[in-house]
Amino acid sequence: MEAAKSIVENGKTTENENVGFEDDVDSEDDEENLKRRISSHPLYGLLIETNFNCLKEAYYITLKKLKAAMEEPLQESTSFIEEMYIQLRELSEATHPNNPKPNSPTH
């Protein structure tokens, strides 16, 4: 395998060994060094805790919205059924005024 590769830049040919490989290694090393520096910082634990608490709060808000969205159709259905019961009772009373009033539904 060739130890050097030929690169054409701005019309000139230059020689460069392992083109691109050193850049990848350097950027990976830099990234790992940066990760180590961040994770060893004295306030890193506070950063993680704050971030986690923020995610918990967002999760709680989402669950509250989901609960409300799930309860709304149930409340609408319950209201509809109660209104139908009232209308049926009124119709029943109008057609049979001598019948005793049925007990209203319990909630």
pLDDT at residue 13, rounded to an integer = 47
Task: Look over the chain and give the mean of its residue pLDDT values, rounded to a whole number.
Answer: 79
Residue 5 placed within a domain? no
Residue 10 placed within a domain? no
What would the pLDDT profile of 32-62 be if each residue is shown by its tens digit? Answer: 999 999 999 999 999 999 999 998 999 999 9
Residue 91 placed within a domain? yes
Contact 75, 69 (CB under 8 A): no
DSSP characters for 50-106? HHHHHHHHHHHHHHHHHHHHHHHHHHHHHHHHHHHHHHHHHHHHHH-TTSPPPPPPP
Range of the domain at 74: 21-95
The C-alpha atoms of residue 100 and residue 24 are separated, in whole angstroms, by 89
Across 67-81, average pLDDT: 95
Residue 7 placed within a domain? no
Total structural domains in the chain? Answer: 1
Contact 90, 101 (CB under 8 A): no
Residue 80 placed within a domain? yes
pLDDT at residue 6, rounded to an integer = 44
Residue 11 placed within a domain? no
The C-alpha atoms of residue 24 and residue 26 are separated, in whole angstroms, by 5
Positive or negative: CA dihedral 38, 42, 43, 45: positive
Q: Three-state SS for 34?
A: helix
